[in-house]
Amino acid sequence: MNDDCILRLYLSSAAPLSSKAVVNTRAFCEQHLAGRYQLEILSIADNVDKAMQDQVLAAPTLVRVSPLPVRKFIGDMSNADRLLDGLGLRGRSAA
């Protein structure tokens, strides 16, 4: 059974926070989910159908696809505490 956290980060070239969100998301994942995550980085403009399916309304948006339930985070992903709580990682040790 695969326990990886599957994440999608939706970006917009017009959103000034998009490049910061990429750096922050990668750093967060390596620190808190090392070896236990898959991160897909997508342009909303190039992936309109997928963004609509994931109900993305703003950029940047990080979507946790798996494990369920789906969770969404909007912004530059600089608030690690919010991500830890929202992803249910608070208090869990890295494997």
Instruction: For residue 18, give the CATH number of its domain.
Output: 3.40.30.10
Domain carrying residue 23:
5-76
Does residue 21 belong to any structural domain of this protein? yes
Does residue 86 belong to any structural domain of this protein? no
Does residue 82 belong to any structural domain of this protein? no
Cβ pair 20, 78 in contact under 8 A: yes
Does residue 65 belong to any structural domain of this protein? yes
CA distance 68 to 43: 23
Does residue 87 belong to any structural domain of this protein? no
Q: What is the pTM of this model?
A: 0.88
Supply the pLDDT for residue 1. 41
Cβ pair 71, 10 in contact under 8 A: no
Number of independent structural domains in the chain: 1
| 14-65: pLDDT as tens digits | 777 889 999 999 999 999 999 999 999 999 999 999 999 999 999 999 999 9
Does residue 49 belong to any structural domain of this protein? yes
Does residue 60 belong to any structural domain of this protein? yes
CA distance 78 to 65: 20
**Cα radius of gyration rounded to whole Å, the chain:** 13
Does residue 13 belong to any structural domain of this protein? yes
Distances 89 to 20, 29, 85, 86, 94 between C-alpha atoms, Å: 22, 11, 6, 8, 9
Location of structure tokens 């939706």: 10
